[in-house]
Amino acid sequence: MDSFNSRLVNAVNDKKSHLCIGLDVNPEGINNHNATIEDLKFYTQKIITATHDLAVAFKPNLGFYERWGSEGFKWLEETMDSFEEDVLVIGDAKRGDIGNTATQYAKSLFEHFGFDAVTLSPYMGLDSIAPFISNPKKGVFILCKTSNPSASDFQNLQQNDKKLFELVAEKCFIWNEKDNIGLVIGATAPEEILSVRNYAPGLPLLIPGVGAQGGSLEKSMKHGNKDGISIINVSRSIIFSTDLSEKSIRKSAKEYVDKMRECIDE
């Protein structure tokens, strides 16, 4: 059985794409404050149709679905049914709870919704992660150094010469016995990607923060693909591209993929 991390490496190589497209669809994004869930469903399908051959992964963001309660979760169930076989689907859930509850979330995300991998928060430690890594085919990306301005409130706390996010990287490297753990590191902190790589060589990285958040694509690709692979998440800059048409969504995704290929070829 292929582990999640090896599936990811193979998918990147097969598709020659490091692009993960974040599905963060809301009425504000499509400039229609009266949008119904049907409108959002229609728009989500448009994004997937326009980009499924370019993206190595899609990353539905659960917050954008949960906002609508049970109707939003129905929309997520329908979204999950619409992906092609050759893309990986990462649930951006950032869950993190004690073992008994983590087991329920793992059932939800892997068994009910059928994600290939999910994002998790490390705050509660290994037993909050364990139920998600027992099956090597399913993977996790653990929050390490995030892309938001307040990331340093806690993630830079330093004991001796090691910061919290570096300790997270080090522990995840140790916990990666089944080859199914990766890390989330923001493109907004490119120099810290190198530091994380020292603590966690080989672990795949999920790098958000390029595009609307202003992180460097070039540095993310260069540092992120040393001693392991990285996939780069782009959400708003692709899914809400210019006139919101299928054509402009595809054009934006294609430009990102081309730029990423140039970075790799250099």
Over its C-alpha atoms, the chain yields an Rg (Å, rounded) of 17
Whether residue 232 contacts residue 220, with contact meaning beta carbons closer than 8 Å, is answered with yes
Residue 104 is a binding residue for a copy of itself (CB under 8 A): yes
Q: Which of 124/244 has CB closer to a copy of itself?
A: 124
State which of residues 164, 183, 185, 217 lies at the interface with a copy of itself (CB under 8 A): 164
Instruction: Choose which of 158, 198, 242, 245 interacts with a copy of itself (CB under 8 A).
Output: 158
Query: If 0-12 CB within 10 Å is exposed, 13-18 middle and 19+ buried, where does residue 56 land?
Result: buried
77 belongs to the binding site for a copy of itself (CB under 8 A): yes
Catalytic: which of 15, 16, 46, 94? 94
Q: H or E segment at 141?
A: strand 139-145
The contact pattern for a copy of itself, residues 13-52, with x = CB under 8 A and - = no contact, is: -----------x-x--------------------------
Residue 168 in contact with a copy of itself, rule: CB under 8 A = yes
Q: Is 41 a catalytic residue?
A: no
Which token pair is 41?
Answer: 């469903």
Smallest gap from Cβ 71 to a copy of itself, in A, equals 8
199's CB contacts (< 8 A; 6+ apart) are 166, 169, 170, 173
Residue 57 phi, psi dihedral angles, 5° rounding = -150, 150
Complete DSSP assignment for 61-100: BHHHHHTTHHHHHHHHHHHHTTS-TTSEEEEEEEE---HH
Please report, as ranges, the residues that interact with a copy of itself according to CB under 8 A.
24, 26, 61, 63-64, 66-74, 76-77, 92, 94-102, 104-105, 107-108, 112-113, 121-128, 143, 146-155, 157-159, 164, 167-168, 171
| Residues acting as catalytic residues | 94
